[in-house]
A and B are shown apart, each in its own frame.
Chain A
Amino acid sequence: MENLTFLMHIYVFVLAIFVGFELITKVPPTLHTPLMSGSNAISGITIVGALLSAGLEQFTISTILGLVAVIFAMINVVGGFLVTDRMLKMFKKKK
């Protein structure tokens, strides 16, 4: 059973890669930087794992690692989304 779960994860991974390629093939160069910083913020999804480690019942080394991971991931998430929005606000068409 264990291996079957793993295969299901591989499944999801491969399909998501394809979705990713399909979504991004036609991005205009103008948006390359915001796309990068925005998608970078999404990679901060590791925050989920960090929360699970930092919230463990007993205080162990995992809690400390989790705490630092929460800080790192939150910098990534908050910084990434905010800076992307700041950039995108500037992109204007000719009036």
Chain B
Amino acid sequence: MQAIIEITYLVSSIFFIFGIKYLGSPKTARKGNLFASIGMFMAIVITLFDQKVLTFEWIIIGMLIGSLIGAVLAIKVPMTGMPQMVGMLNGFGGGASTLVALAEYYRINPNYPVDQGLVFNLPIDQGVAIILSLLIGSVTFTGSMIAFGKLQGIVTGKVVKYPLQHPLNLLLLLAVVGGGIYLVINPGTISLVLIIVGVSLLLGVLLVLPIGGADMPVAISLLNSYSGIAGSTTGFVLGNNELIIAGALVGASGIILTLIMCRGMNRSLMNVLLGGWASAGSAPTTAGDVTSVKGDVKSVDSEELAMIFDSASSVIIVPGYGMAVAQAQHSVRDLMNALEKKNINVRFAIHPVAGRMPGHMNVLLAEANVPYDKLFALEDINDDFPNTDVAFVVGANDVVNPAARHDQSSPIFGMPILNVDYAKTVVINKRSMNPGYAGIENELFFGTNSLMYFGDAKDAISKLTNEIKNL
């Protein structure tokens, strides 16, 4: 029987591999997700035949409760709440890994629940695996919950700085490592296990708390990677290859996404993790510092803007987090339809770190029925701005700031940006002149070819669309 179980695990792992492979292309992605879930189903069912599984009542109760909560969450969550949802799910995966490692520790400890004075021989490899699972799983759990809180608005989305931030975190990490070494040598110290879990949970909170809102794409992808690695270490604890393989696949995919996000901001992973841009979170630059870019801001109303759009033949829309906040994706779709009716070519340019998670804008626009082949990545569309009549920026700021190209003193210098200022006309929809996440002025707003269209994205764009239709 054990051989059949192992073979099923192998087949299930293959389903995971194909699942992830198919998730990489829009045409096959749904099939990929189905493959992965079949793999999971196989793994769960065959595990129930394991000779170690002797009672089923708790399993059935747990599976029912978990499935119910998971299904309700998945069906109820609005698309705008997707970053939080993904953040929270990461956390549950990490939490499960910690609990399994802890359960396994208690199971193999012969002096539990009653001290029988037996010698507890914990092999070094298994001991190390248990401690790593506890550490990574716990950090993933609380870190994800803080990320969830930040995205949901329960915890502040700002960069949080606290005294001795880095020494404190380093100290806590060293405490876990030190405690772990002691535990491997003296495996019977149950209280130490609980302390390791407690410190790791605290570490997760402290590590994610300083990360600001616009850096969330990095944090979420990294936590995604952690949840996979935690699964892998749990696999080492249990000696189960399928956990090791599946966890490693997820760990690798999370790391890749993390690096893509960092590259999108031209920052190192360390820089993001240590908490925000130099100026972020501090007071916005004072007027005196920005006199060089101060010029006249030209504002435009919907009627005038409708005529500008009407005479254009190509439009590129650049959405940012502001579109998500205003839930303006449907108004943007209506605008696209109205323009296309007038035979105007409409495309979307998506910056890699626009929004709060990788691919955030794409999901929102997909929800609004914008075909995905109208959405272009930075490197695929950036050269087209000079040939574009109107670039329309909806709720994006730092990712279109030309200072990133030439101003070496700017904190965002070197970040790849969408060259909207090269278009014949740039229209920027914003609620006010407030600076974006990096806390710096955007010289784009003062450009000679720039027009500001003030107002809440949803209302302002609906109004604009009506004007265009009436022309």
Q: List residues of chain A with CB under 8 Å of any chain B CB.
A: 2-3, 5-6, 9, 12-13, 16-21, 23-57, 59-63, 65-95
Contacts and interface: CB of A to CB of B under 8 A. Distances in A.
13 contacts: A16-B245, A19-B17, A30-B26, A40-B89, A43-B224, A55-B54, A61-B112, A66-B62, A75-B73, A77-B70, A80-B89, A85-B30, A93-B371
A26 to B, nearest CB: 7
A20 B249 contact: yes
B230 A35 contact: no
Interface string B3-30: 0000000000000110111011110011
7 smallest A-B Cβ distances: which pairs? A74-B66, A20-B252, A32-B359, A70-B62, A78-B70, A55-B53, A79-B70
B319 interface: no
Given A78-B67, A93-B371, A9 B251 contact: no
Given A42-B249, A69-B99, A34 B374 contact: no
A3 B125 contact: yes
A69 B17 contact: no
Contacts, number: 395
B107 A60 contact: yes
Contact of A26 (B17, B24, B221, B372): B24
Contact of A36 (B221, B352, B371): B221
Interface in B36-51: 36-37, 39-40, 43-44, 47-48, 50
Interface stretch (B208-216, B362-370, B431-439): B362-370
Contact of A31 (B29, B34, B227): B29
A49 B220 contact: no
Given A81-B33, A88-B29, A67 B372 contact: no
A17 B248 CA distance: 5
Contacts of B246: 42-43, 45
B236 interface: yes
Contacts of A88: 29-30, 33
B295 interface: no
B228 A39 contact: yes
Nearest to A84: B33
Contacts of B34: 85
B70 to A, nearest CB: 3
Contacts of B65: 71, 74
A39 B23 contact: yes
Given A41-B89, A45-B247, A70 B66 contact: yes
Contacts of B232: 13
B264 to A, nearest CB: 9
Contacts of B77: 83
B40 A52 contact: no
Which size class do B's interface residues fall under? 35 or more
Given A13-B232, A74-B65, A75-B73, A90 B367 contact: yes
A18 B251 CA distance: 11
Interface string B220-248: 11001001101110111111111111111
B125 A82 contact: no
B162 interface: no
Given A30-B359, A31-B359, A42 B236 contact: no
A26 B26 CA distance: 12
A13 B242 CA distance: 10
Contacts of A20: 20, 248-253
Contacts of A9: 235-236, 239, 241, 244
B33 A43 contact: no
B89 A42 contact: no
B93 A73 contact: yes
Contact of B48 (A51, A69, A74, A76): A51
B249 A49 contact: no
A39 to B, nearest CB: 5
Nearest to B369: A92
A89 B369 CA distance: 11
B404 interface: no
A48 B245 contact: no
A59 B61 CA distance: 15
B303 to A, nearest CB: 30
B205 interface: no
Contacts of A56: 52-55, 107
Contact of A45 (B43, B352, B359, B360): B43
A87 B23 CA distance: 12
Contact of B43 (A31, A48, A70): A48
Contacts of A35: 20, 23-24, 253, 257, 359
